[in-house]
Amino acid sequence: MEIIMLQDVEKVGDKHTVVKVKDGYGRNFLIPKGLAIIANKANRGRLEEMLRHEAAKEAKLVDTYREMAKKLVGQTLKIVVKAASTGKIFGSVSTVQIAQTLKDQLGLEVERKKISLPEEVKTLGTYTANVNFHKDVPATVAFEVVEG
């Protein structure tokens, strides 16, 4: 069964793409939850309209994303964690903590999905995180993991 994704679903497909799934999965899970619609001729026509609408909406937001990216330049966030005497932290630093720190320290609301860590953070030190505001506006932010 071919369906049009209305939202990003991990390991299935991205928003506004046509994907092929098993009939039962589409009919019993994706469509009733509002995550997808059947990819018939009428809905494929709607897909074109949705893509145009989404592109116009994103174009308006690109300037906002650029302003947010400028605020990150030269900034170093401080994330306070509990750590052992060896410098190893209890647990690890995640994108959720970085998103919360961005909000607290810089006043930027960033979805955690837009933040990615190139390496796992399990010790004290300085690291960088990638913030993908938009495909045309990538940014990086430095953060320091300190014991508190």
Pair (56, 91) in one structural domain: no
Pair (8, 55) in one structural domain: yes
Beta strands 115-116 and 76-81: pairing type? unpaired
State the CATH number of the domain containing residue 109. 3.10.430.100
Whole-model pTM over 0.75:
no
DSSP notation for 24-90: HHIIIIITTTTSEEE--HHHHHHHHHHHHHHHHHHHHHHHHHHHHHHHHTT-EEEEEE-B-TTSEEE
Which residue, 49, 64, 79, sits at the end of a domain?
64
87: left (phi over 0), alpha (psi -120 to 50) or beta: left
Pair (16, 38) in one structural domain: yes
Pair (94, 50) in one structural domain: no
Pair (95, 123) in one structural domain: yes
pLDDT of residue 42: 93
Pick from 131, 146, 137, 148: which is nearest to 77 by CA?
146
Mean model confidence pLDDT for the chain: 90
Query: What domain range includes position 45?
Result: 2-64
pLDDT at 73 over 90: no
Q: For the segment 4-42, what is each residue's pLDDT rounded down to a tens digit?
A: 999 988 899 988 899 999 999 999 999 999 999 999 999
Pair (86, 128) in one structural domain: yes
Which residue, 64, 88, 115, sits at the end of a domain?
64
The count of other CB atoms within 10 Å of the CB of residue 124 is: 17
Pair (100, 32) in one structural domain: no
Report residue 104's pLDDT band, with 50, 70 and 90 as the boundaries: very high
What the block records as the tokens of 28 is 């019993």
Pair (90, 34) in one structural domain: no
Q: For the segment 87-97, what is each residue's pLDDT rounded down to a tens digit?
A: 899 988 999 99
Pair (110, 58) in one structural domain: no
Which residue, 43, 64, 85, sits at the end of a domain?
64
Report residue 58's pLDDT band, with 50, 70 and 90 as the boundaries: confident
Q: For the segment 132-145, what is each residue's pLDDT rounded down to a tens digit?
A: 888 788 899 999 99
